Amino acid sequence: MTTGMTIEVWVEFASTYSHIAAQRIEKEAEKAGISIVWRPFLLGPIFQLQGLNDSPFNVNKLKGVYMWRDMERQCKSFNIPFRKPSVFPRNSLTAARIATAAEGESWQSAFIREAFLANFYLDQDIADPQVLTEALKRAECPDIEKAIGSAQDQATKNKLRETNDEAISRGIFGAPNFIVGDELFWGNDRLEQAIAFAADEK
Amino acid sequence: MTTGMTIEVWVEFASTYSHIAAQRIEKEAEKAGISIVWRPFLLGPIFQLQGLNDSPFNVNKLKGVYMWRDMERQCKSFNIPFRKPSVFPRNSLTAARIATAAEGESWQSAFIREAFLANFYLDQDIADPQVLTEALKRAECPDIEKAIGSAQDQATKNKLRETNDEAISRGIFGAPNFIVGDELFWGNDRLEQAIAFAADEK
C-alpha cells in the first residue's frame, strides 16, 4: 500500500548516519504506506561553502570521537551491520553517480544499501570500480558494465550537479535528510518524524 | 523507586535543546527508577576551544535556520512551551552559577526548568537579576536573596569553573549531555537511550 505522499531521502555515501537511514528507511516508509525517492548527493561542496575542507567529525575531534561511539550504539540498537571504516570520509563521487543514474531501476535501492555496507561494514574503498562492481552484483543489477559506465556519462554528471545545486537551494547543510513537500528533516534521528509528517499530509 | 544508577544531566541555559531535555528528564528518569544529578555548565569556553566565538547555530546560518524550525516541531511534539527568543545565545553565567550553588536544594530542579522557560518561552534576559528573581519565585525558592547572592560567592565561581574543566576532560563538545558512568550521550535525542542504559546498569 503506497499512496500520494512521497519522502525524498537525501543520502551521501561518505556519511555515517546516512548509512543507518539508508538501511532503515524502506521498511519504515512501507509500514506507513509512504513511497520514497532517493536523492543521492555530495556533502563535499556543501561543507566547502561552510568553509570546511574535511568532515565536521574530523575538524571537531571530540565530536568525531563521540560520533563513532554513537554509531556503534545506534547500529547495534537498529541491528544494522557496522564496522568503523579505516578511512573516513571516503570519496563517494562514483557511487553517487551510479546511484543517480540508477533512478527508476529496480536495483537502485539495493545498490544504495550495498554501497553503504561496503563503506561502513566491509571497510572497502567505494571509489574503487571493483568494490562498486561487487556491490552492484549483490544488488542484482542486470547490466553491471552499463551501470559502472553510467558514472562517466555527461548526463549523469550534470544530473548529480543539479541535485547538489538543489540541495543548496533547499537549505541542506548535512546528511541524511528527509524532505516532505517543503519540510526538511535532518538526521537519522528524524526518520520517524518525517514519515509521520508525510503520513499526516496524505 | 529510585535506586543505584544515576544520570548526570549536563545542561547549558543558553542551549536550545538543553531546554527540551531539562523539561523532560525528571519524569522520564522517575518512570525508569533512575535518579538524576544536574550538572549546569557553560558552552562558551568549550566553543572557544573549538575556535568558535558564537553558537554553532549562528556560525552556520543554514543549520541555525533548521534548528529553529526543528525546535518548534520538537517542542510541539513533547508539549513543551517554546517561543523563539529575540536574542540568541543569551548570557547564561549567572543562571549557571545559581543552579550550581543550589545543588542539594529542594528547589534546584524547579529553578532549572524555570530559567529555561524564561529564556525559551518568556523571551526574558536570563542575565537580568530581576528575571532570575522571578524564576526563583516560581521555583518556590525559600530564600531568593541568598540564591541571587550565591552567584557572587567565590566558592560558587570556583565550583562552576571546576565543572567546566570536568566537561572538557570528559569529552563534552555540546549540550545537553547525559552521562552514565563513563558513557556519554549527547543531545535531547539520546535521553531515552541514556535512561535505558542507566536502567540496564542497575
Please report the pLDDT score of residue B4 as a whole number: 63
- Which residue in B59, B173, B191 has the most chain A C-beta atoms within 10 A of its own C-beta, making it the best mutation to test that interface? B173
Q: Which residues 6+ apart lie within 8 Å of B48 measured at CB?
A: none
Is the CB of B62 less than 8 angstroms away from the CB of A171? yes
Q: How many alpha carbons lie under 13 Å from residue B50 in its C-beta half-sphere?
A: 25
Please report the pLDDT score of residue A2 as a whole number: 42
Chain B residue at shortest CA distance from A77: B193
Q: Which residues 6+ apart lie within 8 Å of A8 measured at CB?
A: A36, A37, A39, A177, A178, A179, A180
Please report the pLDDT score of residue A202 as a whole number: 74
Per residue in A157-193, pLDDT (tens digit) is: 999 999 999 999 999 999 999 999 999 999 999 999 9
Is the CB of B62 less than 8 angstroms away from the CB of A186? no
Among A65, A172, A190, beta carbon nearest to B171 = A65
**SS3 label, residue B10:** strand
pLDDT of A136 above 80: yes
The pTM of the full predicted model, rounded to 2 decimals, is 0.95
Q: Label residue A1 by pLDDT band (50, 70, 90).
A: very low
Q: How is the beta sheet containing A34-40 ordered, strand by strand?
A: A34-40, A3-11, A177-180, A183-186
Nearest CA to A155 out of A80, A200, A112, A102 is that of A102
Is the CB of A70 less than 8 angstroms away from the CB of B186? yes
pLDDT tens, N- to C-terminus, chain B (202 residues): 444 689 999 999 999 999 999 999 999 999 999 999 999 999 999 999 999 999 999 999 999 999 999 999 999 999 999 999 999 999 999 999 999 999 999 999 999 999 999 999 999 999 999 999 999 999 999 999 999 999 999 999 999 999 999 999 999 999 999 999 999 999 999 999 999 999 998 7
Nearest CA to B84 out of B121, B115, B112 is that of B121
Q: How is the beta sheet containing B3-11 ordered, strand by strand?
A: B34-40, B3-11, B177-180, B183-186
Residue B56 near chain A (CB below 8 Å): no
Residue B68 near chain A (CB below 8 Å): no
Phi-psi region of B46 (alpha: psi -120 to 50; beta: other; left: phi over 0): alpha
Nearest CA to CA, how far is B200 from chain A (Å)?
14
Complex prediction ipTM: 0.94
Cα angle for residues A85, A117, A153 (degrees, 5° grid)? 105
**Cell numbers at residue B29, please?**
528518569
In angstroms, the CA B86 to CA A28 distance is: 38
Q: Which residues 6+ apart lie within 8 Å of B5 measured at CB?
A: B34, B35, B180, B198, B199, B201, B202
Is the CB of A66 less than 8 angstroms away from the CB of B193? no
Please report the pLDDT score of residue B1 as a whole number: 41
In angstroms, the CA B68 to CA B74 distance is: 10
Per residue in A13-31, pLDDT (tens digit) is: 999 999 999 999 999 999 9
Q: Which residues 6+ apart lie within 8 Å of B6 measured at CB?
A: B34, B35, B36, B37, B180, B198
Is the CB of A173 less than 8 angstroms away from the CB of B62? yes
Is the CB of A171 less than 8 angstroms away from the CB of B73? no
Per residue in A30-79, pLDDT (tens digit) is: 999 999 999 999 999 999 999 999 999 999 999 999 999 999 999 999 99
- Residues of chain A contacting residue B10, judged by C-beta atoms under 8 Å apart: none
Please report the pLDDT score of residue B111 as a whole number: 98
Please report the pLDDT score of residue B202 as a whole number: 74
Is the CB of B63 less than 8 angstroms away from the CB of A174? yes
CB pairs under 8 A between A and B: 37
- Among A10-14, A133-137, A198-202, B149-153, whose mean pLDDT is lowest? A198-202
What does the DSSP assignment read for A10-28? EE-TT-HHHHHHHHHHHHH
Among B60, B66, B193, beta carbon nearest to A73 = B193
Is the CB of B63 less than 8 angstroms away from the CB of A173? yes
Among A50, A60, A73, beta carbon nearest to B173 = A60
Consecutive H or E run containing A180: strand A177-180
Residue A162 near chain B (CB below 8 Å): no
Residue with cell 563534552: B172
Residue A87 near chain B (CB below 8 Å): no
